[in-house]
Amino acid sequence: MKGFAFGAVAAAAIALASPAAMAAGSGTAAFPASTTIYIVTGVRDDGGADETGVASSVTCTNVSGVTVDIRVAAFEFNGTKKGDETITSVPNAGVRTFSTNFTNIYTENKSLETGILHQGVFNVEATNASVFCSATVEDAGSTSPYGFALHMVRVNPALGTEE
């Protein structure tokens, strides 16, 4: 009987920790206001026209189980804000992309229209901790993935996660 009870508890724990269960979560990691979840350094844009030159992008996915808002602000090396955009009402499992200018590799939801950006920083905010993102610097004119990933520092992580 002890084996059965232990097995039932273990099965329940595994079911509750599954990705599907997390994706259908209750949104309990909600913040009272838009809160920084990532800092991204090494952001770059050469100031070229849309779909040309070098651009940087952030792509975020909401797995909170509730609708969230996502905001990305871009700053120059000296702290000057170069762009700031918010996308509201991102549904569960929704993916949104922000770029310093439009690229051929992504279908952006928002262009930050930063112009030239050297040694820049992205500040990524959300209204829930269960939003996960990645960032790149890429050839904005290419339809192939020419570029590299940027290091992202996670702040205010979702409970029970390690990034």
Choose among 66, 68, 69, 70: nearest CA to 27: 66
Residue 147, phi-psi category: left (phi > 0), alpha (psi -120 to 50), beta (remainder): left
pLDDT for residue 7 is more than 70: no
Six token digits for residue 26: 């209750």
CA distance 88 to 109: 11
Q: How would CATH label the architecture of 26-154?
A: Sandwich (2.60)
CA distance 59 to 71: 11
The pair phi, psi for residue 58, each rounded to 5°, is -125, 130
What average pLDDT does the segment 10-29 reach? 45
pLDDT at 26: 46
Domain ranges within the chain, ordered by starting residue: 26-154
CA distance 53 to 75: 19
* CB-CB contact of 76 with 118 (8 Å): yes
pLDDT for residue 153 is more than 90: yes
Give the other-Cβ count within 10 Å of 18's Cβ: 11
pLDDT at 114: 98
Higher pLDDT, 6 or 138: 138
Six token digits for residue 72: 């990305």
Q: What are 68-123's pLDDT values in tens digits?
A: 999 999 999 999 999 999 999 999 999 999 999 999 999 999 999 999 999 999 99
